[in-house]
Chains A and B, each alone.
Chain A
Amino acid sequence: MDVILFTFFALVAIVGAVSLVLQKHPISSALSLVSVMVALAVLFLLLGAEFIAAAQLVVYSGAIMVLFVFVIMLLNAGAERESRKGGLAQFLGLPLTAILLVFASYVITQSMSNAKAVKFGAFTGGGPREVGWELFTRYLLPFEVTSILILIAIAGAVVLARKEID
């Protein structure tokens, strides 16, 4: 059961991610991204990370994607036009990606040959209480420093988005 669930949602995530890149219209891309996010949330849940699964749904599939779709609609973005592809990239892109994936899966199967599949419910400790505990004790500094990161992102967006420099 766990294996079936994992395989199904992993495939949904991969298909969604590929479709995100291939779709011509931005709205279709955004909706593909939603399916990736939802599938990832289920994978987190399978790993026993209930809090992250919920946050993934609420924050990514909910808030951020709604914002994405709003912006796309407000800007009235049309279907993308094909640009001229670089010669080398066109021929080497897919083979090199395939090589990277084969290499990665080879390494994983080699060094993790006796790894067991995850059983649903085998891991606990992914609830809000445990996450909150870690976040405000051991990982207090990264938590606070992340706020600086977000502050810069806001300040940077304001700088780049204002109308005139004068």
Chain B
Amino acid sequence: MNPAAFYPSAVDYLRFLPELILTIGGVLLLVLEALTGDNKDKTSLGYVAIAVVLGAMFAVPVALANPGTSFNGMLVSDGFAAFFRMVTLLVGLFTLLCSTSYLSREKANSGEFYLLVLFSLAGQGIMAASNELIMVFLGLEIASISSYVLAGFLRDDKRGSEAALKYFLLGSFATAFLLYGISWIYGVTGATNLVAIRESLAAGTSGNSMAVAAAALMMIGLAFKVSAAPFQVWAPDVYQGAPAPVSGFLSAGPKAAAFAIFLRIFQTSFESFSSRYEPVLWILALATMLVGNFSALWQSNVKRMLAYSSIAHAGYVLVAVTTNSNVGTAAAMFYLAAYALMNFGAFAAITHLAGRGESHVTIDDLKGLASKQPVMAGLLTVCLLSLTGVPLTAGFFGKFYIFKAAIDNHLYWLSALGLLNSAIAAYYYLRVLSAMYMHDSKTTDHPEPVPGGIQLTMWVSAAGILTLGVFPGLVLDYANRFATFVK
């Protein structure tokens, strides 16, 4: 064989451009961090990272304009990949905007934080675009290992270190399940390419019950990464203990990327026995919604409450995944994009309001916010109303399309129980709102000015929520068009 047949061509690089930019940017930051002295202000490195993420965002349409597989079928550049690359990059941009001021406040500003975010984004991009189980695994590990470190970045903070260790141990355990499933699939089909697996399973020449067992093992690993019940126990502790911008990052970015590979693996490769895993997904979706919503009711810590709410939202997305249809996939994509906006908006507000050392994170601390900081309270209200699913917000259309897809696919019970769940969820979001508007502040001290990055994040997410709440087609049209790529 001639090795020249395998040499990557220029178009291969174009299809991989967003991740290339992120990786080169990350290495650049590593060098810059070493070049700037130890006692220098590292905020400027944050701006470099923001520029890198913006560059990667511009590279996404370039990759989309050159559709096809690259590097011998390892990656695929299609609309589905572009959509999730864009969502994760947006979350990464928000994270960087919020963390520059946060890290200065906590006296932990260093270049490593920014480069870990960039590498994590590169890993998520690889996940979104992977066409091969080996790439899925590598992307997932790159994204996860950076996340473990980010969760424990404030290493003198006990809660943060505990969160990082828990996340690392349980996360590695879940990855082992995924890897075990991958090795079984390779044993059954002799392939790791998603399309080749599909063809081998459809031909029916290989052991089918073994492939089902392999799919079950992989589902365990992926259910952990999207924090679906009963694999959700890590999420509340990690989101509570991690630095606030990191919690926002973890709850929106890696989760969206994990859903991307979930959809791609199960709809592309395991299509032939979809009827067998559908009941499992049904139970998984319902359990996740119930656990998330009911646990959130009792929380007094806002970060912990948002952690449980993020579990519940993963449950709604799983409802869309259960439908196993293009409409359902599009609904899941729209919901994840809307969720990234509204959830990160809420976490951005908490990042600022928590104060130094994150000492003010209970619902009581939000009392009287509306009279002290009306703009901040208003923007946070938009995010919370959208998380509740109130009309004229993106969250409403997100839930609407998910349950519409579920009803179209005759999942009546799941839709009914899901709708009941979102009614329960309204209670704990309204509790925060009532604390903000109906109570007087405990303290009289003057509020600190809101840093520009956090303001920008909140304005962008609130504007995005309201725009999508009126014109959902702006994103839904893309989701509908790109959802067909995974089937």
Contact = CB atoms under 8 A, between A and B. Distances in A.
A108 interface: yes
Interface string A113-143: 0000000000000000000010011111110
Interface stretch (B138-146, B320-328, B342-350): B138-146
Interface string A127-166: 0000001001111111001101101110110111010111
B74 interface: yes
B116 A152 contact: yes
Interface residues on A, range: 20 to 34
A157 B388 CA distance: 39
A107 B6 contact: no
At the interface, is chain A mostly helix, strand, loop or mixed?
helix
Nearest to A159: B112
Contacts of B164: 160
A110 B209 CA distance: 8
B32 interface: no
Contacts of B145: 149, 152-153, 156
Contacts of B115: 155
Contacts of A137: 1, 3, 5-6, 72
Nearest to B106: A165
Contacts of A136: 3
B213 A107 contact: yes
B149 A159 contact: yes
A104 interface: yes
A103 to B, nearest CB: 8
A112 interface: yes
Contact of A165 (B1, B75, B138, B154): B154
23 contacts: A103-B213, A107-B213, A110-B207, A111-B188, A111-B209, A112-B210, A136-B3, A137-B5, A139-B72, A141-B71, A141-B75, A142-B74, A142-B132, A145-B139, A146-B138, A149-B141, A149-B145, A152-B116, A152-B145, A155-B115, A156-B146, A156-B149, A160-B155
Interface of A: 103-104, 107-108, 110-112, 133, 136-142, 145-146, 148-149, 151-153, 155-156, 158-160, 162, 164-166
Interface of B: 1, 3, 5-6, 8, 16, 23, 27, 30, 71-72, 74-75, 106-108, 110, 112, 115-116, 119, 122, 126, 132, 134-135, 138-139, 141-142, 145-146, 148-149, 152-156, 164, 188, 207-210, 213
